[in-house]
């Protein structure tokens, strides 16, 4: 009965190969992308934000292309600060026309500024002074300073920096807010995002104002993130994919980073790389969507590329991570290619798909199930801009 065995083997192997291909290892689709294309995508995204800016400096928060609805309910001050920061980043990268809308966004935040003792912070609608919003506002001000060489807001930057430090705890961690009416930080709440955001902002401060002592809290939180955060804050599958922490480590690359920081940076690169690989296997086909889930929104995928961009800089400057430089570059190329490919091209916003005054609300946006939110564009912009160094290095190699 040898033919029966042979047939059974052939069927088993054939079925196994087909099943593996469909379920575990579908192709990772990352079309090659050039820096000119990624820059054009970043510009188109910044245009989306610019077109959606209201006269008070706030931005179109969310847009549903299927219902032509503009949704500003639950407007988020942290995201406002992040979007403004990404516009300043555009200006810093040579796209000076975005300085004006960024300054309008800054004006919106400065109207919410509160000053106490030696520090200042912006308050959200409830009056709480939130770590993340202030950290991202400070990061935006750093980019503004780098882009314009203006020192007009240096004192404000220091005041916000001092607010961040007020929220730092003895173990290096940060609490999330100072609640309205309280006479000290609210100790019961930490944020998985804001700690890394504060780390980044403080590390940036040290690099712009060396000798003022900003490095001390930055190093402290870097060690907290590297060694304790995932366990103490209960992240189930460490490391938590924290691109803000990667940004902070990037700022510290010449300080230099400790061995623990490098170990943490390597684990972050592994995590972001895995997420990019998995994302590249996703497709719109029903079967793949059923097995692998729906495509991740740009606000998510952008953060992975942002994290990898920072880690690539560390890998290209620090021998202890040099072995990862090529692979990080590969994942960045894949992530930016997916971002560029999934963006709505210019001219897609037709009649009815408009922001106030008939402005196109689709072109340059990233839509998930018909909806885009301003931080989709923010994270994509930061990801695409910072990827340029790694992409250029790859273009040079090829």
Partner 1 sequence: MNEPWLALFAAINPAAALIAFRGAVSDRWGTNAFAKERLLVAAAGVVIAVAIYAALTFAGEDLLDGLDIAPETFRIAAGIVMAASGVFAIWRMGLADDGALPGIGAGVFPLGVPLLASAAGLVAALSYGVDHGSGRTFVAAAVIVVVTGTLAWLYRDSWRPIAGALARITGAVLVAVAAALVVEGVRDI
List contacts with partner 1 (CB under 8 A). Answer: 1-6, 8-9, 13, 16, 20-21, 24-25, 27-30, 269-274, 277, 281, 324, 327-328, 330-331
Shortest CB 228 distance to partner 1, Å: 20
Whether 99 and 128 have beta carbons less than 8 Å apart is answered as no
Least separation in angstroms between CB 130 and partner 1: 33
Helix axes 194-208, 243-251, angle to 10 degrees: 20
Q: Which is nearer to partner 1, 201 or 276 (CB)?
A: 276
Tell the smallest beta-carbon distance from residue 17 to partner 1 (Å): 9
Q: Which is nearer to partner 1, 228 or 274 (CB)?
A: 274
At its nearest, how many Å lie between partner 1 and the CB of residue 394? Answer: 16
Shortest distance (Å) from residue 24 CB to partner 1: 5
- Helices then strands, counting H and E runs in the chain, come out as 16, 9
CB of 27 to partner 1, least distance (A): 3
DSSP 363: T
Q: Which residue number, 310 or 363, has a Cβ lying nearer to partner 1?
A: 310
* Residue number, 78 or 265, with CB nearest to partner 1: 265
Nearer to partner 1, 248 or 329 (CB): 329
Which pairing describes strands 119-122 and 129-130: parallel, antiparallel, or unpaired? unpaired
Nearer to partner 1, 22 or 100 (CB): 22
Backbone phi, then psi, for 283, in 5-degree steps?
-145, 170
Nearest to 344 by CA among 355, 360, 327: 360
DSSP string, 104-161: HHHHHHHTTEEEETTEEEEB-TTS-EEHHHHHHHHHHHHHHHHHH---TTHHHHHHHH
- Mutual orientation of helices 77-92 and 35-51 as an angle, nearest 10°? 130
> Can the peptide bond before residue 76 be classed as cis, meaning omega within 30 degrees of 0?
no
Q: What are the tokens at 167?
A: 């929220």
Q: How far is the CB of 288 from partner 1 (least distance, A)?
A: 13
State in angstroms the smallest separation of the CB of 232 from partner 1. 21
Which is closer to partner 1, CB of 61 or CB of 312?
312
Quote the tokens at residue 284.
């719109």
DSSP state of 258: -
Contacts of residue 158, Cβ cutoff 8 Å, sequence gap at least 6: 205, 209, 212
Q: What letter would DSSP give residue 323?
A: G
Beta carbon nearer to partner 1, 15 or 184: 15
């Amino acid at each position: 009965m040898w033919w029966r065995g042979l047939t059974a083997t052939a069927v088993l192997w054939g079925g196994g190969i087909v099943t593996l291909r469909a379920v575990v290892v579908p192709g990772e689709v990352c079309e090659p992308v050039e820096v000119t294309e990624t820059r054009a995508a970043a510009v188109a995204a910044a245009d989306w934000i610019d077109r959606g800016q209201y006269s008070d400096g706030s931005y179109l928060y969310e847009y549903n292309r299927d219902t032509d609805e503009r949704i500003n309910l639950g407007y988020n001050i942290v995201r406002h600060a992040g979007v403004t920061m990404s516009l300043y980043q555009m200006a810093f990268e040579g796209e000076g026309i975005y300085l004006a809308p960024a300054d309008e966004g800054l004006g919106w935040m400065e109207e919410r500024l509160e000053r106490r003792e030696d520090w200042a912070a912006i308050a959200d609608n409830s009056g709480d002074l939130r770590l993340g919003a202030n950290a991202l506002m400070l990061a935006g001000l750093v980019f503004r300073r780098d882009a314009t060489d203006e020192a007009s807001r240096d004192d404000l930057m220091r005041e916000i920096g001092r607010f961040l430090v007020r929220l730092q705890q003895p173990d290096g961690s940060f609490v999330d807010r100072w609640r309205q009416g309280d006479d000290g930080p609210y100790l019961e709440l930490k944020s998985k995002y804001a700690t890394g955001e504060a780390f980044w902002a403080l590390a940036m401060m040290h690099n712009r104002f060396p000798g003022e002592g900003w490095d001390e809290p930055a190093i402290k939180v870097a060690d907290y993130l590297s060694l304790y955060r995932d366990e103490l804050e209960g992240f189930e599958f460490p490391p938590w994919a924290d691109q803000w922490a990667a940004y902070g480590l990037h700022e510290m690359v010449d300080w230099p980073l400790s061995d623990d920081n490098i170990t943490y940076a390597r684990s972050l690169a592994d995590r972001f790389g895995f997420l990019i690989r998995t994302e590249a296997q996703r497709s719109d086909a029903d079967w793949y969507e059923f097995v692998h889930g729906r495509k991740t929104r740009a606000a998510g995928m952008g953060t992975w590329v942002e994290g990898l961009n920072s880690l690539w800089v560390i890998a290209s400057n620090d021998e202890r991570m040099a072995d990862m430089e090529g692979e990080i570059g590969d994942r960045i190329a894949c992530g930016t290619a997916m971002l560029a490919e999934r963006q709505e091209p210019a001219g897609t916003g037709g009649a009815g798909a408009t922001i106030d005054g008939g402005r196109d609300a689709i072109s340059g946006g990233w839509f998930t199930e018909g909806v885009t939110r301003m931080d989709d564009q923010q994270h994509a912009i930061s990801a695409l801009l910072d990827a340029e160094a790694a992409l250029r290095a790859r273009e040079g190699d090829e």
